[in-house]
Structure 1
Amino acid sequence: MDPPGSIPVFLSLVGRKAPAARNRAARQAVAVSLGVIAGFALAGGAILSYLGIGIPALQGAGGLLLLLIALDLLTGKESAQPQGAEDVNVALVPLGTPLLAGPGAIAATIVYVRDANGQVGSYLALAAAIITIHLVLFLFLRYSGVIIRVLRESGITLLARIAGLLLAAIAVQLVANSVRGFVAGG
């Protein structure tokens, strides 16, 4: 999870919206991320085991989803979304997941829960870390509007293209890690 690194994608997706809509998107995205990470902390290992999904498959799926979003940002096209549902959809996907609560964060959470070995102190430390990172994420996204005043419309367009390029690189890395995981595991 990367609070400063989330700002370019956040601004490219909601930077042209009114401040109230940006704030709502920040709240929703962080709430979705917190829910996803907490859910995987509580039952992630069991969910993946039940579905027969490994961490490499999770990484590959997240990478492909991020690649689709990156292509939209690079080309300047909006994803096909129903009119009026745009704010909610952007906050859920791609902001809440897979950008904030991505495959890496989910996998790390599952591994840390597994490594806690039933020690209450370890579980409490992990819970504190999850809550803290989400508070920091919210603060970064909530106050990213300051950057909009400096960048203006053309700067946001440029930022969207740069964010798309970086997001595409992250997506390719996730897919590469997924392939590497499949090769090493099988």
Structure 2
Amino acid sequence: MRVNLKFLGEVYVTLLVIVDPPGMVPVFLALTGTMPPRQRMKAGTQAVLLALGVIVGFAVAGQTLLDYLHVQLPALQGAGGLLLVLVALQLLTGKADETEQQGGTTNVALVPIGTPLLAGPGAIVATMLFVRRADGLAEYAVIGLGILLVMLTVWLVLRFSGGIVKLLRPAGIEVLTRIAGLLLAAIAVQLIADAVDAFVELYTAAYSG
């Protein structure tokens, strides 16, 4: 039991640091700040449920799926980075509000909040690595519990972020949107750079071997 608790703590802390709920709040508010409170709560719940489904899905069958499609993990990372670039440009140019009005709550909740922000390449890769390390059904259950606890933490953070909207008011949300766009652009560039670096290492090792 002691080993399981240690493993649970490792899974929880690792995924929590990668998902970064406090860092998610500015982006979440930038994308949902103009929504009524009920719609914002719905968007947060949908995003968390999608992220939970994606992470669990990759934990169960991620490696098999990637092998079948002949896709390597750096490619998944690069794709997530490119998707975030598009979202960042929308936030920086003020087109996010237009997209929100056209697409409704569900589109914003699914992309980019649910994936690739919550269920991003980092969380997916970390989960797949934990599954590889797991020894027996008990440790698989510990990984599942760790994922559930992380998603519950994220949901609570998003659930109570509505109070920030009341403090910021429309002008503050507008400023926050631009800042969130800049942060997202930086995250996107880092994801793409990491993917390129991983590809270089991969092919260098392949040719040298």
TM bucket normalised to smaller:
over 0.9
In the superposition, relative to structure 1, how do residues 164 and 81 fare at CA in structure 2: closer, same or farther (>3 Å)? closer
Q: Which has the larger radius of gyration?
A: 2
Distance in structure 1 (CA, Å) of the matches to 2:102 and 2:110 = 14
Shift of 1:120: 2.3
For residues 144-176 of structure 1, the C-alpha deviation after alignment (integer angstroms, 9 at most, x for no partner) is 001011111111111111111111111001000
Taking structure 1 as reference, are residues 3 and 44 closer, same or farther at Cα in structure 2, changes over 3 Å only?
same
Deviation at 1:121, TM superposition (A): 2.8
Task: State the match for 2:104 in structure 1.
Answer: 86
Confirm or deny that 1:8 pairs with 2:26.
yes
Q: Which of 167, 172, 175 does residue 158 from structure 1 map onto? A: 175
Please tell me whether the aligned partners of residues 100 and 108 of structure 2 are also in contact (alpha carbons under 8 angstroms).
no
Rounded to whole Å, the distance in 2 between the matches of 1:177 and 1:52 is: 20
Instruction: List per-residue Cα deviations over 1:37-61 (Å, max 9, x = no partner).
Output: 1101110111111111111000000
In 1, the alpha carbon distance for the partners of 2:127 and 2:53 equals: 13
Kept after mapping to 1: 8 A contact 2:31/2:97: no
Aligned residue type for 1:128: L
Q: Where does residue 132 of structure 1 map in the other structure? A: 149
Matched, 1:58 2:76: yes
Partner-residue secondary structure (3-state), 1:85: helix
* Alignment CA distance shift 1:105-1:24 (3 Å): same
Pairwise CA distance, 1:84? 5.5
> 2:31 touches 2:100 (CA, 8 Å); kept in 1?
no
TM-score by length of 1: 0.95
Match of 2:161 among 140, 144, 162: 144
Count of aligned residue pairs for this structure pair: 185
What are the superposed Cα offsets for residues 42-83 of structure 1, whole Å, 9 maximum, x if unpaired?
A: 101111111111110000000000111011111111387596
Q: Please show how residues 1-186 of structure 1 align to structure 2 within 5 Å.
A: 1-78=19-96, 81=99, 85-116=103-134, 118-186=135-203
CA offset at residue 137 of structure 1?
A: 0.6
Say which structure is richer in helix.
2
Alpha-carbon distance in structure 2 between the residues aligned to 1:33 and 1:141:
13
| Structure 1 Cα separation of the partners of residues 122 and 149 of structure 2 | 17
Stretch moving more, 6-15 or 84-93: 84-93
CA RMSD of aligned residues (A): 1.5
Q: Any unmatched runs of 5+ in structure 2?
A: 1-18, 204-209
CA shift, 1:85, in A, is: 3.4
Unmatched segments (≥5 aa) in structure 1: none
1:123 deviates by 1.2
SS in 1 for 2:96: coil
Q: Percent identity?
A: 55
Residue 26 (structure 1) shift = 0.6
